[in-house]
Amino acid sequence: MIRALQTRINLQQEKQPDSLLNKVASDLGMKPSEISGIKVLRKSIDARKRNIMFNYKVEVYINEPLPESSDYTFNYKDVSNAKPIHIIGFGPAGMWAALRCIELGFKPIVLERGKNVQDRRRDLKAINQDHYVNEDSNYCFGEGGAGTYSDGKLYTRSLKRGDVRRIFENLVYHGATDQILIDAHPHIGTNKLPKVVKNVRENIIKYGGEVHFEARVTDFTIKDKKIVAIQLQNGEEMDVEKVILATGHSARDIFYLLNDKEIKLEAKSFAMGVRVEHPQELIDGIQYHCLGEPRDEVLPAASYSLVEQVNNRGVYSFCMCPGGFIVPAATANGEVVVNGMSPSKRNNKFANSGIITEINAERDLYKYEHFGALKALEYQKDLERLAFTAGGRTQSAPAQRLTDFVEGKLSSTLNDTSYQPGLKSAPLHSLLPKIIGGSLRKGFKAFGDKMKGYYTEEANIIGVESRTSSPVNIPRTETLEHPEITNLFPCGEGGGYAGGIISAAMDGERCAEAACS
């Protein structure tokens, strides 16, 4: 017999062996010895009060053994000689599109502009130490896309777009920890993701697919409203039947290419702002009610989620990274972009989060109307160039103490930071456009009221956080094809159809199913 149950245990119980078994048995009025096993379905922490509680959702097995295998299977087959589907981009959308093609009996041919995960590391080092950005190999481009060297957060609200559990199980199948199946806010960690990504690639090749690195697409040949061939930077040309375009939110050259060919695009609203960095000890103290004391070793590094309405404009935290570090996410020299990530243990001494505000493509960008569908992209580019100049024309980032930013003062000194290229004091309060800077300043004050201790001179704000999502939408029909180019399937974050690893992977699967039908 299987019983479903939700139960709570406190912090002290959580430290004790068999505490969950004993609590479940007590809840059911049974002896622990009468229970065959417990399968944890979901685990979360409730730290709203000093008595911190762990919430469990479990299946209890009585007089029958725990199942030994997952309910999910992945039926990959040899597709060496099958019909090809070309996939441009090898981030989460491209990877899961390729895996789904194999399950459906089609041969994925993946074209990735960047390098594999191992070779990519050298180019990340060059950004951090030499301030040089390789435009094809950086924190956004390369095997696994922007997700590879990221926090690896797997939380998604896109529950109606596909089978979320299937993506999680597939990540475990390819080497991720099975802890992601039960954590309320699961993540893999920047140190663990490269191995998972490599396993996906090796599996695609094992079953007859192809993955080509340093294969940037530079042009399309279009006849009768179809792409019949694609050209690569090295001069190679490939005939194609169907193309899944999964190039991510930062592939500006693809947006320019489509626009130059008068293929329909649309400007898309997105969000921009800064990244704020606090000592992790401070965030722990606020969230776990232990200011001035180290957090209990059973508790993970604390996170937060904040949102405020400022003059009918949302200001909110984005991609919060407890125990993490800030990285340079530019995709070209002459721009500064920041992002955040965490290792699997989240054991760095800083906490960081994007704090961003909405940019409405219709209402806010009237000065950029002459750029048409690319107006939000050009606005984004201008602020990244501004950050580059304010940071000293290197990958050093402009920064300010949080309190100085809100009060409109230049910071004479800055706090320590995890951002390796370094910081340069700059008046971000006056450099950022008013719709961003003014909204953020009011938002930070409101966050300080909601979360006592958050508004502090111990925090830095660092600019700019600009690659939150694509500033361009590539339209598609109900069959997921472009309305004008009938064998082109815009996919994932670059098309404007996803906002993270899981939603992008689900969209990749959907586009593969559409392309293979």
Residues 77-101: tens digit of each pLDDT: 999 999 999 999 999 999 999 999 9
Give me the half-sphere count of Cα atoms (radius 13 Å) on the Cβ side of residue 373.
19
Q: Examine residue 211 and say whether the peptide bond preceding it is cis (omega within 30 degrees of 0).
A: no
> Which pLDDT band holds residue 157 (cuts at 50, 70, 90)?
low
CB 503 within 8 A of CB 257: no
**How large a percentage of the chain has pLDDT more than 90?**
92
CATH architecture of 84-264+474-516: 3-Layer(bba) Sandwich (3.50)
pLDDT band at 331 (very low <50, low <70, confident <90, very high): very high
User: What is the number of other CB atoms lying within 10 angstroms of the CB of residue 265?
Assistant: 21
- Using the CB atoms, write b or e for 477-489: b if 16+ within 10 Å: eeebbbeebebbb
Asked if the domains at 2-61 and 84-264+474-516 fall in one CATH topology, the answer is: no
| Statement: residue 147 has pLDDT above 90 | no
| 388 close to 431: Cβ distance less than 8 angstroms | no
Domain ranges of the chain: 2-61, 84-264+474-516, 267-465
Average pLDDT over residues 296-303: 94
3-class state of residue 308 by DSSP: strand
pLDDT at 156: 72
Interatomic CA distance for residues 70 and 406, integer angstroms: 51
The predicted-structure confidence for 492-513, as pLDDT tens digits, reads as follows: 999 999 989 999 999 999 999 9
Taking the domain 2-61, which CATH number applies?
3.30.70.2700
* Whole-number pLDDT of residue 511: 98
CA 234 – CA 278 distance, rounded (Å): 45
- pLDDT given for residue 481 in this prediction: 98
Q: Are 77 and 103 in contact (CB under 8 A)?
A: yes
Span 122-136, pLDDT tens digits: 999 999 999 999 999
Confidence check: pLDDT of 26 > 70: yes
Residue type, 293: E
Long-range Cβ pairs for the range 254-261 (8 Å, 24+): 254/88, 254/217, 254/494, 255/374, 255/377, 255/472, 256/374, 257/218, 257/219, 257/220, 258/474, 259/372, 259/373, 259/374, 261/220, 261/222
| pLDDT band with cut points at 50, 70 and 90 for residue 159 | low
On average, the pLDDT of the chain sits at: 95
